[in-house]
């Protein structure tokens, strides 16, 4: 799972963090505190967070090698 912080300026996309750059909730909390200071609502910024759960599964190597 990873989190993405999105920043908008006056309702238009401004920037977002890179996928998988924030993978822990504690990291997200720390970065959000900084973002809220650097990009205040009073200057037209809005901040949102997206959570991206990822599911993976193991694959049989022989099945992959001999797939037809």
Residue pLDDT, tens place only, 6-51: 999 999 999 999 988 999 999 999 999 999 999 999 999 999 999 9
Give the model's pLDDT for residue 56.
85
Give the model's pLDDT for residue 68.
77
Give the model's pLDDT for residue 38.
98
Number of domains in the chain: 1
Give the model's pLDDT for residue 20.
85
Global pTM value: 0.77
CA-based end-to-end distance of the chain: 32
Write phi, then psi, for 66 (nearest 5 degrees): -110, 20
Length of the chain: 68
The residue range of the domain holding 14 is: 2-65
CB 2 within 8 A of CB 25: no
């Amino acid at each position: 799972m990873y989190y993405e912080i999105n920043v908008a300026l006056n309702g238009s996309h401004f920037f977002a963090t890179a996928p998988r750059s924030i993978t822990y909730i504690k990291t997200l909390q720390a970065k959000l505190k900084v973002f809220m200071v650097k990009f205040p609502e009073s200057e037209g910024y809005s901040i949102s967070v997206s959570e991206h759960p990822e599911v993976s599964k193991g694959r049989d190597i022989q099945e992959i090698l001999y797939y037809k």
